[in-house]
A and B are shown apart, each in its own frame.
Chain A
Amino acid sequence: MTHYPLRDDIFSDDVAQEPTRAGFGRGLKKAGEANESIVALCADLTESTQMHHFKEAFPERFVEIGVAEQNLVTVASGLARAGKIPFTSSYAAFSPGRNWEQIRTTATLNEQPVKIVGSHAGVSVGPDGATHQMLEDIALMRVLPRMVVVIPGDAVEAEKATQLIAENGSPTYLRLAREKTPIFSTDESPFEIGKAYVLREGHDISLFGTGTMSYQLLKAAKLLEEHGISAEVVHVPTIKPLDEATLLKSARKTGRVVTAEEAQVAAGFGSAVAELLSEQLPTPLKRIGMYDRFGESGAPNELLDYFGLTGEKMMPVIQEFINTTAQYHREG
């Protein structure tokens, strides 16, 4: 198993926090320094999506598209045909929310390495409300053949992920969040596209998280420990391709699985895990996320709490799941 160093202050009240989009902004500039074919396109949200760092460093490689998300991805497809590696950014509600067909036809079917960077995903966008709280993007992107789907867990990982997807040669979706979230990984923590990482070992239940929910699962695991439950936490920053081996190994070990995502559970990350388990290792599964409903206005942390997406709210749900479910496939 790959050793995954965690920061040592993750449960302190003054845990270091930063939005994942900030890591993207730094990563894109670094990727641009390393490869002059990298170009960036934005739909009138340059600072908000943190593309301004790249724009300031490489003004000749930045293209302002205006509020036109269909054009955003199709112009990018053309730039890719001319040999560029285009990063496109907007809010996830608009891209890939509005331009799915253009992504399908001109990026994936056309096999061009267009990067779709969906910022401000999830309910934690906060007061802007449901229109801007994108919850269906994982589903939209993971059904597309050839599309790689990456959801970094924190800003440090987002910076690494951005540099790696720049060079992966594939159309790729990078899902980012607006709000500051705790940083749990370190510069030394591993990140590879397509890999899941065991953040904490346990034997009673497996908790699979994607994006910033992995931190909430670490918190839930700590609370469960106080109740005598040993939870294994697996961070899954790549949803497609899914690291099946790591997930199956953990599920086989603990015999129960919980998933957590700040998105619709329908067709999202939890569904990807359900598909895997039901075909290869039927295992009791509880999915935490949004159940067939939209978000609403509120403060970010208030909304995460309201929708049960914090470690504190997840803990009793997981406990109840354990109490009412038999363990399957337990080894030893």
Chain B
Amino acid sequence: MKQQYTLTQLDEKANTIRKDIITMLEAAGSGHSAGPLGLADIFAALYFEIMNFDAKNPDWDARDYFFLSNGHTVPVQYAAMAEAGFFDRPELTTLRKLGSRLQGHPERTKLPGLENTSGPLGSGLSQASGVAYALQYMDKQPHRFVYTVMGDGELNEGNIWEAAMFAGKYKLSQLIGFIDRNNIQIDGSTEDVMPLEDLRGKWESFGWHVQEIDGHNIESICDAASMARAITNKPSVIIAHTIPGKGVDFMEYDYKWHGAPPNHEQAKDALKKLRTLDGKIKAGE
């Protein structure tokens, strides 16, 4: 039986995920900070409200699938998986170390519970589409869903639009994509590097159902996923507007944190801020 959480508890899950991200990245000494922190609320919603899975039986044949397309944000997935019970939390600090199951970019063959290997951008949506196609047309299992998270910079990749055309053509209604619309990529603002707007119009023209939400409002995230599951004649994409580095004020909106970890002092400072988080998280104080 899937455990039910209140919105307050889900916010607390997101905060725990953020703290674990900071701890992991500091221990690793390298890695990406901004993307994972910005995705913490979406992953709290996915792993503790939206998706069906069994952490003790990762290959459970009735599970929903999750494909991380922008593999560099995987610390947020590892943190969510540890919190969900796929493995014990102390393993998180092995991130990026020799022999670890927690590779710098996710490798399916290393860690049960990962559905794909990802890092080179643009392929996760296609892999998710393949599973969604199998569920819808071959295995006829209409109650299982395939979720994927993409970055916005990642949408520069042609492979994404090949998948968008494919899923649109076959009306893969069990496919639900989240776009982490944080407006940054390595070389700067997404609209400076390679403009994505009109992003909603692009996806709509490819035959997708599009929603735009506040990617830090867990209720909105869960509601959008419910709406996406209810759409039965097209694939769904949820453009989640997020703040890169969300929750750690000195990282927010600063693209230099895209590919950098905090040092010890910065991590200490970040964890202190997260424990109080504007007074929003009572349990964290």
A-to-B contact residues, CB < 8 Å: 39, 60-61, 63, 65-66, 68, 70-71, 74-84, 86, 101-102, 105-106, 109-111
Shortest beta-carbon contacts, A-B, top 9? A78-B130, A74-B126, A82-B134, A71-B162, A78-B127, A110-B117, A68-B162, A75-B130, A79-B130
Most chain-A CB neighbours within 10 Å: which of B67, B122, B138?
A: B138
Which of A65, A83, A106 makes the CB contact (< 8 A) with B123?
A106
Which of these binds chain A: B79-87, B107-115, B194-202, B216-224?
B107-115
- Measured in the bound complex, the distance between the Cα atoms of B130 and A110 in whole Å is 15
B128 interface hit (Cβ, 8 Å) = yes
- Measured in the bound complex, the distance between the Cα atoms of B163 and A70 in whole Å is 9
Contact B165 A110 (CB under 8 A): no
B-to-A contact residues, CB < 8 Å: 65, 67, 107-109, 115-120, 122-123, 126-135, 137-139, 158-159, 162-163, 165-166, 169
Q: Would you call the interface of chain A mostly helix, strand, loop, or mixed? A: helix
- Measured in the bound complex, the distance between the Cα atoms of B130 and A70 in whole Å is 13
- Measured in the bound complex, the distance between the Cα atoms of B127 and A70 in whole Å is 11
Which of A84, A105, A106, A110 makes the CB contact (< 8 A) with B134?
A84
Chain B residue nearest in CB terms to A108: B117
Contact B131 A111 (CB under 8 A): no
Q: A78 with B126: in contact, given A60-B137, A84-B138, A110-B117 (CB under 8 Å)?
A: yes
- Measured in the bound complex, the distance between the Cα atoms of B131 and A84 in whole Å is 9
Sample of 15 further A-B pairs with CB below 8 A, known A74-B123, A77-B116: A39-B138, A70-B122, A70-B126, A76-B130, A77-B126, A77-B130, A79-B134, A84-B134, A84-B138, A86-B130, A105-B119, A105-B120, A106-B117, A110-B107, A110-B117
Q: Which of chain B's residues have a CB closer than 8 A to the CB of A81?
A: 65, 115-116, 127, 130-131
- Measured in the bound complex, the distance between the Cα atoms of B14 and A194 in whole Å is 51
- Measured in the bound complex, the distance between the Cα atoms of B138 and A61 in whole Å is 7
Contact A82 B130 (CB under 8 A): yes
Contact A68 B127 (CB under 8 A): no
Q: Which of chain A's residues have a CB closer than 8 A to the CB of B115?
A: 81
Contact B126 A71 (CB under 8 A): yes
Contact A74 B127 (CB under 8 A): yes
Chain A residue nearest in CB terms to B141: A82
Contact B109 A71 (CB under 8 A): no
Q: Which of chain B's residues have a CB closer than 8 A to the CB of A111?
A: 108-109
Contact B130 A101 (CB under 8 A): no
Q: A78 with B165: in contact, given A39-B138, A60-B138 (CB under 8 Å)?
A: no
Which of A68, A80, A84 makes the CB contact (< 8 A) with B166?
A68
Q: Which of chain B's residues have a CB closer than 8 A to the CB of A61?
A: 138
Q: Which of chain A's residues have a CB closer than 8 A to the CB of B166?
A: 65-66, 68, 71, 75
Chain B residue nearest in CB terms to A82: B134
19 A–B contacts, CB within 8 A, in A order: A66-B162, A70-B122, A74-B123, A75-B126, A75-B130, A75-B166, A76-B130, A77-B116, A78-B126, A78-B128, A78-B132, A81-B65, A82-B130, A82-B134, A82-B138, A106-B126, A106-B127, A109-B117, A110-B108
Q: A66 with B127: in contact, given A60-B138, A84-B138, A110-B108 (CB under 8 Å)?
A: no
Nearest CB in chain A: distance from B123 CB, A: 5
Q: Which of chain A's residues have a CB closer than 8 A to the CB of B65?
A: 81
Which of A60, A74, A105, A110 makes the CB contact (< 8 A) with B163?
A74
Contact A102 B131 (CB under 8 A): no
Chain B residue nearest in CB terms to A86: B130
Which of A78, A82, A105 makes the CB contact (< 8 A) with B117?
A105
Q: A102 with B129: in contact, given A60-B138, A82-B139, A110-B108 (CB under 8 Å)?
A: no
Nearest CB in chain B: distance from A74 CB, A: 3
Q: Which of chain A's residues have a CB closer than 8 A to the CB of B130?
A: 74-82, 86
- Measured in the bound complex, the distance between the Cα atoms of B132 and A230 in whole Å is 58
- Measured in the bound complex, the distance between the Cα atoms of B122 and A101 in whole Å is 11
Nearest CB in chain A: distance from B172 CB, A: 10
Contact B133 A79 (CB under 8 A): yes
- Measured in the bound complex, the distance between the Cα atoms of B106 and A109 in whole Å is 11
Contact B162 A83 (CB under 8 A): no
Q: Which of chain B's residues have a CB closer than 8 A to the CB of A86?
A: 130
Chain A residue nearest in CB terms to B164: A71
- Measured in the bound complex, the distance between the Cα atoms of B127 and A105 in whole Å is 11
Q: A63 with B162: in contact, given A78-B126, A106-B123 (CB under 8 Å)?
A: no
Contact B123 A70 (CB under 8 A): yes
- Measured in the bound complex, the distance between the Cα atoms of B122 and A128 in whole Å is 31
Q: Which of chain A's residues have a CB closer than 8 A to the CB of B158?
A: 70
Q: Which of chain B's residues have a CB closer than 8 A to the CB of A68?
A: 162, 165-166
Contact A110 B133 (CB under 8 A): no
- Measured in the bound complex, the distance between the Cα atoms of B130 and A77 in whole Å is 7
Q: Which of chain B's residues have a CB closer than 8 A to the CB of A80?
A: 130
- Measured in the bound complex, the distance between the Cα atoms of B126 and A102 in whole Å is 10
